[in-house]
Structure 1
Amino acid sequence: MQTILAFILVFGLIVFFHEFGHFIFAKRAGILVREFAIGMGPKIFGMKKGETLYTIRLLPLGGYVRMAGEDFDQIELQPGYRVGLILNEDEKVEKIYLNQNVQHPNVLFMEVERADLNKKMWIEGYDEEERLVRFDVARNAIIVENGEETLIAPYERTFEAKSLWHRTLTIFAGPLFNFVLAFILFLLLGILQGVPTNEPIVTEVVDDSPASEAGMKAGDYVKSVNGHSIDKWDDLSEFVKENPGKELSFIVDRDGQQVELSIVPDSVELKNGDKVGQIGVMYQSPMEKNPLKAVVYGVQQTWESTVLILQALVYLIAGNFTLDDLAGPVGIYQYTGEVAKHGFFTLMYWTAALSINLGIMNLLPLPALDGGRLMFFGIEALRGKPVDRKKEGMVHLVGIVLLMILMIAVTWNDIQRLFFQ
């Protein structure tokens, strides 16, 4: 149960922030947002507020913001359609009923001849007396089909009608908000848990290690090594690593007294054949609660995590990976359960790292991802005109198919790793 709750919290928060980025910038641009969805597949919860339907869907495979004017959102009335019309006080159509019996005293029935529900906003056809009639359509008109209402979107409220700048911002905002979420989580960690001071204070000394044999004790504050001033633990760690087998002179502060220690780091060989020094001490940085430092900590951790993930991505792109190096929803579920066992703060850190990972992956210039759409916007900027929508749609469709194949392969590998190993 703990794993399920942790996964729902982590997944829901990351997807929510990503889609909220798309949503808020779409609304600011004046785009009609039809649906804000967390999850994919069958709807398990839905709530209509204003123009937008907010839903939670069954499959934890992402989410989406459905905007007017995107693929599969075109509303067309073909010739021969029988519709029922309700007019408002200005004699404009405010509601269109499609192919159904309508029980309303003021309904006007029509067989559609022509219609423009996108730009010029009118509908023309033959009434019950076979007369050709034409009505203007209100900009907030509603189409009703099988009991479901859909708001008509005038062209200026569609995604495609917006400037290249607004479309770019709307798509880029999704990955951007993943980085915003990571910063917020790291900031909260800095406020609630404290910011690591990184002071070079020894936390624990390993028995029978070079440090132990030299007389180093827990609580020693390392001031210098071989005359080089030590300001933070990373400086000490790096100095020791670079000097395997060499005698080092340590000056430590122990209860206000200066103590000199002579330590020869063990030489440890790494997998790549390099040798590094180790003296056998453990470290846990003291924590400081300072709101201003927490802000800096949030920025630093977001940046450092981003760099690490980019380095790993370069490693993967170079071909140094197998399916075991990748994880799908099942793998993330498993890892999230393991992380949750180590406490809420560790789960926050894991969530921040996953959010950055999602942001970076979505910015890759691959079809069907946000980065793929941004790539087409870049081509549009260079050409001075959009790429043909059918051609772009075909590229994205191929991308979706390939991504789904990869997702199935990764998920199957996750299942085998979880149940058969």
Structure 2
Amino acid sequence: MNFFTTVLAFVLALGPLIVIHELGHYLVARLCGVRVLRFSVGMGRVVWSRRFGRDQTEWAVSALPLGGYVKMLDSRDPETAPKDDADLEREFTRQSVWKRIAIVAAGPMANFLVAIGLMAALYMHGVDEPSARLRALPETSLAHQAGMRGGDTVTAVNGNPVRSWSELRWQVMHAAVDKLDARLELRGDHGGTYSATIPAATVGALDVEGDVMDALGMSPWRPAPRVQDVLAGGAGQRAGLQKDDLVLRVDGRPVVDGIAFIEAVRGAPGKTLQLDVDRGGRTVTLPLTPENDGKGTGVIRVMVAQAPEMVTVTSGPFEAIARGAERTWDTSIMTLKMIGKMLTGEASWKNVTGPITIADYAGQTARIGLVSYLQFIAFISISLGVMNLLPIPVLDGGHLLYYSLEVLTGRPLPARVGEIAQRAGVGLLFMLMALAVFNDLVRLF
């Protein structure tokens, strides 16, 4: 069932995004007066088609469900070259360079607009996320050394407001990639505000491919370790734990939250722990001996509060659109910066992912819920837009590079140069795809 969900989520995410990309090309081509011969959903052999409109454009469904293309009147291809003089002025290469730029750029722009629309809709609907409140910080952590304390809530990073943990992480990631100081504004657990700064040298040394928040010693705030349920026949029941007990100490050491209690139990299979619990205002001491689950982990069959504090991030229509556009822009720039770091050797090429990893994430987010799945689709739409704008021949970005050179020189790129560039681009694209699939397989196995 998981495999079926993963495949379906992958197809439903990527297929429509590619169709929308091609629709961008199609609509702007029509606006610019170019005749479109075929719009295909899918690649390969045409399995169904119908002709519509004044131009009798062929709308087709092809055998391979992922992908699509727009075939325009184009004299460079004998199959699509104009058959009579009446069509010459509607042929693609006879359009002004600015019209050609608009037609080519319309595909990636359509992907960016989809991302903005999805994010705006999510912001208007409201997204439940962990708050930016900090869990207790280890004294040796970089965050604690900078002056931050557990229980306090981060309200801004480098002047940019944050309302949730994902926004906090995003701003810290920006500082790490740009090698800037991370200046955090915080609201104290008992009132008052203060600021803490992590120096650029420290932030810039973080591994942006890993968990930057964990490297700083920062994690979302968790509730106190209160027992929510005691399952029959478990070590917890035998020890005398009861629903609503609040665990205060384990072997005399204070327990800050549910995660800390779970970690203490897991690390003590077969060992007797002395628990101090608050039960209705009085302290009770209980001996607890976690069972060994056979893998060296202690279990007691007790449910303890551990979910992070959640906030609902919502915006009005205009603010939501602005936030969607801002997030799309920031994600695009971050993607380009990561590509730059890979080219300079500052980031690993293991970050290049392919269809297997994308399908895996599609399945995971679909199982979590609609909001997570739509967030994933928005991110993939941005990635499609950015990747298609890279100046690689055969991609939209490669054609935009040709036309930019034409604007600068006043004449089109020689046909021979274009052919060589196309072949090089195809080779480069195949190498990138091979690397992506290789990385996918390494992650999988």
- Displacement after TM superposition at 1:47 (Å): 3.1
- Aligned equivalent of 2:121, options 188, 197, 221: 188
Counterpart Cα distance in 2 of 1:223 and 1:382: 47
Counterpart Cα distance in 2 of 1:184 and 1:339: 19
* Pair 1:56 & 2:61 matched: yes
Counterpart Cα distance in 2 of 1:58 and 1:191: 38
Aligned equivalent of 2:29: 26
Answer 1 or 2: which has greater helix percent.
Answer: 2
C-alpha contact (below 8 Å) 2:28/2:106 kept by paired residues: yes
C-alpha contact (below 8 Å) 1:194/1:290 kept by paired residues: no
Aligned equivalent of 2:244: none
Gaps of 5+ in 1: 77-115, 120-138, 140-153, 211-215, 242-247, 262-268
- Displacement after TM superposition at 1:180 (Å): 0.6
Matched residues, number: 319
Aligned equivalent of 1:103: none
Superposed, 1:99-178 pairs within 5 Å as 117-119=83-85, 139=86, 154-178=87-111
Distance 1:277 1:384, change over 3 A: same
C-alpha contact (below 8 Å) 1:39/1:63 kept by paired residues: yes
Counterpart Cα distance in 2 of 1:348 and 1:72: 39
Worse-superposed segment, 171-180 or 338-347: 338-347
Answer 1 or 2: which has greater strand percent.
Answer: 1
Aligned equivalent of 1:126: none
- Aligned equivalent of 1:295, options 321, 331, 342: 321
Counterpart Cα distance in 1 of 2:193 and 2:331: 37
- Aligned equivalent of 1:9, options 1, 9, 12: 12
Counterpart Cα distance in 2 of 1:16 and 1:173: 12
Distance 1:343 1:206, change over 3 A: farther
| TM-score where L is the length of structure 2 | 0.60
Aligned equivalent of 1:328: 354
Q: Which amino acid aligns with 2:62?
A: R
C-alpha contact (below 8 Å) 1:69/1:159 kept by paired residues: yes
Counterpart Cα distance in 1 of 2:114 and 2:125: 16
What secondary structure does 1:69 align onto? coil
C-alpha contact (below 8 Å) 1:183/1:299 kept by paired residues: yes
Counterpart Cα distance in 1 of 2:429 and 2:155: 53
C-alpha contact (below 8 Å) 2:153/2:187 kept by paired residues: no
Counterpart Cα distance in 2 of 1:351 and 1:33: 28
C-alpha contact (below 8 Å) 1:35/1:65 kept by paired residues: yes
Aligned equivalent of 2:232: none
Counterpart Cα distance in 2 of 1:379 and 1:249: 49
What secondary structure does 1:281 align onto? coil
| TM-score where L is the length of structure 1 | 0.63
Quote the sequence identity (%).
Answer: 28
Superposed, 1:6-405 pairs within 5 Å as 6-50=9-53, 51-59=56-64, 62-69=67-74, 71-74=76-79, 117-119=83-85, 139=86, 154-194=87-127, 202=133, 251-252=188-189, 272=205, 276=216, 278=218, 281-282=221-222, 284-288=310-314, 290-320=316-346, 324-405=350-431
- Displacement after TM superposition at 1:298 (Å): 1.3
Structure showing greater Rg = 1
